Structure 1
Amino acid sequence: MADRNTFRLMLLILGLVFAFLYIPISVLVGLSFNEGGLPTAWTGFSVKWYGSLLEDADILKAAGNTLIVAVSSTILATILGTLLAVGVEIRRRNGKWLETIIFAPMIIPDIVLAIALLSMFSLLNIKMGLHTITVSHVVFNLAFVCAVVRARLKSFDWSIVEASADLGASTMITLYRVVIPVLMPAIVAGGLLAFTLSVDEFIIAFFTAGAGRSSITLPMQIFAMIRFGVTPEINALATIVISVSVVALALSQRLNKGGLPGQ
């Protein structure tokens, strides 16, 4: 009886936590289909606000910038993060120190990392724009890709690498034809996670975008729009961003059957 009551209490707590997390998001998604112009009063079902997004040049421009940054930073972060994960796993002697350095961007507050990147670009006298946002997102996403790939490497059979070397394969051929195919699910999962983080990221992009509207991303556009009040159009735009993030994250979790290092 005590175990049953404990189980019910845990279910109740879990339900309250999920309600606290997802009811506001559900309300936002529901109101994005609100026919009326009031963001908080339901007047009927309509998808017109999604159509109006396609007629807004600023939103389309911001969406294009977001895709450019997300795709570019994902490709770079995935390549570098995978190579870094393999290198760290090979150099196990200094693993703890290397992990501390590599995974620092994951625990440093975004605002601190954004200020550091802004200071670096200013010190180097680099004109900021989409290219600086992309570089900044690579720095931010690199640790996450490395973490996902390293989790896969924990169960990697290194004897197949030795067998490849015994058969005369060079290091590059072994990496390309043996290591990468085995790690591919984790590499894709890390890439999808990096893409999700890049699409959602606001603070670092805001600090490293520079002046002008040419480098505004979707989160920055939403922030600019919401200063004048919440509208159903903003709800529709936020729903699209949430949907893209959820799909990418779900695919990443499905591909990554391991976990982060240390788990």
Structure 2
Amino acid sequence: MAKPRAFDVTTLPGFTFIAILSFVLLYAPIVTLVVYSFNGGNSVNQWGGFSLEWYVVAFNNAAVQDATMRSLIIALWAAVISTSVATLAALGTTRRGKFKGQTVIYIIINQPLMVPEIVTAVALLIFFSSVKLATGYSGLGYLILAHSAFCIPFAYLPIRARLEGMDTAMETAAADLYATPLQTFRYVTLPLLLPGVIAGAMLAFIISLDNVVITEFVKSAGQDTLPTYMLGQLRRALTPEVNAISTTLLALTIFILIAFALVTKKRN
């Protein structure tokens, strides 16, 4: 008796059409944005010939330079802080047996992923506004802390996944050879965990770099990041300069995501 064939969704009628339509709807606007970033005219939707003019304009724009540098500083600090906290959290939730309240801790760590970002942004606005009034400080520290808090679950997920896939035999062997817990972590656990830590840091960096909602609520005057600068430009005169900035940011994001995929692939 012949075995029944396994269900294959690709054999359903219309699957190919729906798949192609989905990809077109997802990527056609992005492709259009990239193409029009090389537009030589002043219009964002009328082709005026191929040109790199708007990339030069964006590169020489002092406001763009300041916003880009500010975005990179915030994203780097947020990646470092959130990855450090996420690593400690992952160790605390995976390198021990089941314990009471473990599910609650998972929910607390992943809370920014489940709650709408606007809710987190409003909560951070209220909290940091009170701190600003009490301290008088209004620097970038608030944006760094806000981004770090939001990025923790994004860094936590690949680090925890890496830890759960690691064999504890080498850590046990190190303990049997009289290594202290700190020595075991430094010379055994951390080197094995490093691909997950790097992946978490890169993911946190790109999430922070692209963030708009939390930045818009928490930032003070004169603290525009690159995404919020672009949002401000969209509210004013729209030129292909915004397309050029968007394409550059897209290229950076793709590069980091490819590096993320390569690092996570090494886990196996």
The TM-score normalised by the length of structure 2 is 0.90
Taking a change above 3 Å as real, the CA distance of residues 87 and 111 of structure 1, as seen in their structure-2 partners, is: same
Q: Distance in 1 between matches of 2:165 and 2:43?
A: 54
Q: Distance in 1 between matches of 2:9 and 2:185?
A: 52
Give the superposition deviation at 1:258: 9.6
Give the superposition deviation at 1:128: 3.2
Alignment root-mean-square deviation, CA: 2.0
Instruction: Tell me which residue corresponds to 1:110.
Output: 117
Q: Distance in 2 between matches of 1:3 and 1:68?
A: 48
Match for residue 182 of structure 1 among 171, 182, 192? 192
Instruction: Tell me which residue corresponds to 1:123.
Output: 130
Give the superposition deviation at 1:5: 7.6
Instruction: Tell me which residue corresponds to 1:133.
Output: 143
Query: Is 1:173 matched up with 2:183?
Result: yes
Match for residue 48 of structure 1 among 46, 53, 62? 53
Taking a change above 3 Å as real, the CA distance of residues 34 and 112 of structure 1, as seen in their structure-2 partners, is: same
Native 8 Å contact 2:121 2:217 kept in 1: yes
Instruction: Tell me which residue corresponds to 2:85.
Output: 80
Mapping of residues 241-256 of structure 1, within 5 Å: 241-256=249-264
Q: Distance in 2 between matches of 1:133 and 1:28?
A: 29
Unaligned 5+ segments in structure 1 are: none
Mapping of residues 12-23 of structure 1, within 5 Å: 12-23=17-28
Q: Distance in 2 between matches of 1:251 and 1:9?
A: 35
Q: Aligned letter for 2:196?
A: A
Instruction: Tell me which residue corresponds to 2:4.
Output: none
Mapping of residues 146-161 of structure 1, within 5 Å: 146-161=156-171
Native 8 Å contact 1:35 1:46 kept in 2: yes
Q: Distance in 1 between matches of 2:266 and 2:210?
A: 24
Native 8 Å contact 2:195 2:266 kept in 1: no
Give the superposition deviation at 1:245: 1.1
Unaligned 5+ segments in structure 2 are: 1-6
Mapping of residues 223-234 of structure 1, within 5 Å: 223-234=231-242
Q: Distance in 2 between matches of 1:114 and 1:5?
A: 41
The TM-score normalised by the length of structure 1 is 0.92
Q: Aligned letter for 2:179?
A: A
SS of 2:14's equivalent? helix
Provide Cα deviations, 1:87-146, integer angstroms capped at 9, x if missing partner. 111243243221111101111111110111111112233533321111011101111111
**Moved beyond 6 Å, runs of 4+:** 2-5
Q: Aligned letter for 1:109?
A: P
Aligned residues: 256
SS of 1:228's equivalent? coil
Provide Cα deviations, 1:58-113, integer angstroms capped at 9, x if missing partner. 11000010011011111111111111111111243243221111101111111110
Give the superposition deviation at 1:54: 1.9
Native 8 Å contact 1:128 1:208 kept in 2: no
